[in-house]
Chain A
Amino acid sequence: MIVRIANGAGFLGDNLDAPRRLVESAAVDYLTLEYLAELTLSILARVREKDPSAGYAEDFLTVLKSLTPALQSQPGLKIVTNAGGMNPSACAKAAAQILASAGLGGEQVGVVSGDDLLADLPRLQAAGCAFENLDTGEPLSSLAQAVVSANAYLGARPIAEALASSARIVITGRVADASLTVGPAVHEFGWQWNDRRRLAGASVAGHVIECGAQATGGFYPLWREIDLAAVGYPIAELADDGDSIITKPAGSGGVVNRETVAEQLVYEIGDPAHYLTPDVDVDFTTVEIEECGVDRVRVRGATGRAAPESYKVSLAYRDGYMATGQMLVYDHAPVEKARACAELIFARLKAAGCEYARSSVECLGAGDAVPGLHAPPQGLREVMLRISIHDPRREAVERFAKELAPLATSGPAGLAGYASGRPQVRPVFAYWPTLVPKAMVSPGVKVQTAAAWKAAN
């Protein structure tokens, strides 16, 4: 038996047509949709603060609507997504409206909850969890700023439970990205939760497909060789032994080869011998890959050790305000003029009583995007001046946002691009990586028909 698990979204903001094109052009058993980067939840937490019925990945609703014909014509197709964000139940209710309108009100929708620890932080701290920062070792109690969100990365187990309760669509909050693939695999193959080799294999497959087209030709240095306009999104054909073949829909753009799969295997990993998920501690150093057909790469040999005793927690706290402004500077000596413009701006701000905790001046086009590597080229005639500031005081950051445009009439000649409006002032959510003992977290699973979710309060 082979289980075909595809990924149609790698982040909140990914292509909205990709999931529909994927299921229309390839037979898959599971479509996973991944929406939650490290700090997406803190943004969704703020959305929920303003509207208690919001705070999930609303893109998912657009995608789900486009998928209803496929859900009707392909009875075996299931969807597993972390679109629930900070509000999985509200997401399920909104999804249920779409399903009911499409005549799919009888379908079972599962919600995985329990990852959101924000309201429980005082209780958990009192119970002995210090939420020490993994980078600095400091306890959370030393943090003066307000915590905005705190979510445990749950594992595959509640997803598999939801599927076992006949859910056709599973909506979660924060779960480990690879667990979106491991959950369906465990459900289909009936693996034991201590079967480390198989769990490791499915985790590796999940890691390869979790960023969508990055496994199939996206982010590829040899992009000239391929057509990315209609890039196909990845499919993992998973076998019962945990090995997989990575592929993409026939006739789609992009490429799946040794290079694209290897690149995605090493994407955003630390120590490859310990890729930690809530399900298993995966060793990537035993993984082998081999091309086994056109756009087909076999991935095998993953091994694993016992899963960690703790869940990783992504915790975000308020950390002042930021703003970024840009202006095109044209000149024989554009870098000199751009730096002079930046000095002018900071001099005027200082005169207005504003100095900033952190600031940055970049001359884009002159080599500043990766600092220190390349000097500005000879004959350079233009650069994009980019100024960013960060400060605890909102008013000071707002003052900065108003100080760029005046340069149009009171700065040097040869400036353009300030007409796009003042820079936006945005709150900063800083990241506090930490752990929580698994025993302190209770994942919840609720499965009911779309019609019942729609009627729920």
Chain B
Amino acid sequence: MEPTIPLSEIAHARSGDKGNHANIGVIAYTPEGYQYLRDALSAKLVADYFVGLQCSRVERFELPRLWALNFLLYDALAGGASRSLRIDTQGKLLSTAIADLPLPTPKNLSAMRRPSSAP
């Protein structure tokens, strides 16, 4: 099997709600990491990872100057802040959950790790 890394080795994230939709902003630690994520972290990959949320679709937006990708997960919250029966009514856990998403280990991984915590 292809070796993988968790997303958290090269990026951090924050998530929240917009009505019944959730958003997850994923931010690379370095420009190299952003280049890699732009190719590797597709909307489809995120949709497949969060298949249990039963989103209607996932849309991806690019913020290259922030080294960030924004994912909008439509209808991900089973009703949103007011109607959702889940414990995580507002998608606050999704940024922590996406940290474990496995990605193929990139060739230049050392250039993608968080600079201050790199070996």
Contact = CB atoms under 8 A, between A and B. Distances in A.
Interface of A: 37-39, 42, 135, 214, 219, 221-222, 259, 262-273, 284-289, 301, 316, 319, 322, 324, 358-360, 362, 364, 368-373, 386, 388-390, 428-431, 433
Given A263-B12, A267-B16, A284-B66, 6 more contacts: A222-B12, A263-B25, A265-B66, A266-B27, A271-B72, A389-B85
B18 A135 contact: no
Contacts of B49: 373
B76 to A, nearest CB: 10
A335 to B, nearest CB: 16
Contacts of B8: 221
A373 B65 contact: no
A388 B88 CA distance: 12
B69 to A, nearest CB: 9
Contacts of A373: 49-50, 52, 97, 100
Contacts of A287: 63, 65-66
Contacts of B72: 270-271
B65 A362 contact: no
B27 A135 contact: no
Most A C-beta atoms less than 10 A away, residue of B21, B67, B78, B83: B83
Contact of B25 (A269, A286, A289, A319): A269
Contacts of A219: 14, 92, 95
Nearest to A301: B65
B82 A372 contact: no
B27 A262 contact: yes
Contacts of B51: 372
Interface size class of B (residues with CB under 8 A): 35 or more
A428 B82 contact: yes
Nearest to B26: A266
A259 B65 contact: no
B17 interface: yes
Contacts of A135: 19-20
B81 interface: yes
A431 B82 contact: yes
B82 A273 contact: no
Contact of A322 (B25, B62, B85, B88): B85
Contacts of B20: 135, 431
A37 B81 contact: yes
A390 B66 contact: no
Given A221-B99, A259-B12, A264-B14, A371 B19 contact: no
A372 B53 contact: yes
29 contacts: A39-B81, A219-B95, A262-B25, A262-B66, A265-B68, A266-B27, A268-B18, A268-B23, A269-B23, A270-B72, A272-B70, A284-B63, A285-B65, A287-B63, A288-B66, A359-B85, A360-B85, A360-B86, A369-B88, A369-B93, A370-B93, A371-B52, A371-B86, A373-B97, A388-B86, A390-B83, A390-B85, A430-B83, A433-B19
B7 to A, nearest CB: 11
Nearest to B78: A360
Nearest to B74: A135
A135 B75 CA distance: 10
A288 B99 contact: no
A282 B100 CA distance: 32
Interface in B11-44: 12-14, 16-21, 23, 25, 27, 29
A55 B30 CA distance: 47
A214 B65 CA distance: 21
